[in-house]
Amino acid sequence: MPRMASAESSFNEGWTFVWKGFLTTLGTSILQPLRTLREKPTPNYDVNVTPVPAAVSKRTLWLSVLPSLLVLLYPLLVWLPQAPLLGLWLLVWPWVGMSLIFTTMTQVSHVQQSCQPTQAQSGCWTARQIHASLDYSLGAATPMPEQQLVTALAAGLNAQSLHHAMPTLSCAHFPRVYAEYRQICERHGVTIRHSENVGTAVREMLEYVFENNRPVGGA
């Protein structure tokens, strides 16, 4: 992809990743469908890279956007006039709160330096899936109650490599089978990418994003 900023710019586009992370659900629920309906190109592309599927009519897509529009407009029309602070909270929190959860749960396990492909990577599909994923809160030293709690809260996405390697296995089993899974990987020379917890995983993700977007010639 070409640079988003001009060569002379000192702005780190990592900040774009951060502020958009607060609004991802607004984009996926409303902005992207409306762009598709209006046949507009995806930003930074010449075409719409996520066009409406052939089996989905524009009318159906419009109907799918209506619930999200209701969530967006209801606080503005009903609560904001009579209780401004409550109305503002009900307007902002569903989008910002869910966006942060969505961005963290989906991006932190792949947008990592350690998960990028290399020339030396195995030709095995499953091994590549494992190498392209980051797990957290599932280390050998992590207490089982913590593993179970984080797995439940993250819907199993904290075991992203296991989720990709065995997609039909319910995440309810992840804490119980993870130690054996780790041993199998070690036996076959497959290294699991792992971070201590979600906090360290987010930090490592942001470090990679900001380093990857560091302006040319920047410190």
Span 23-53, pLDDT tens digits: 999 988 998 888 888 888 888 788 888 787 7
Q: How many CA atoms lie within 13 A of 65 on its CB side?
A: 18
Nearest CA to 70 out of 36, 30, 21 is that of 30
Give the confidence band of 3 by pLDDT, cuts at 50, 70, 90.
low
Span 141-163, pLDDT tens digits: 999 999 999 999 999 999 999 99
Contact call for residues 95 and 25 (beta carbons, < 8 A)? yes
pTM over 0.75: yes
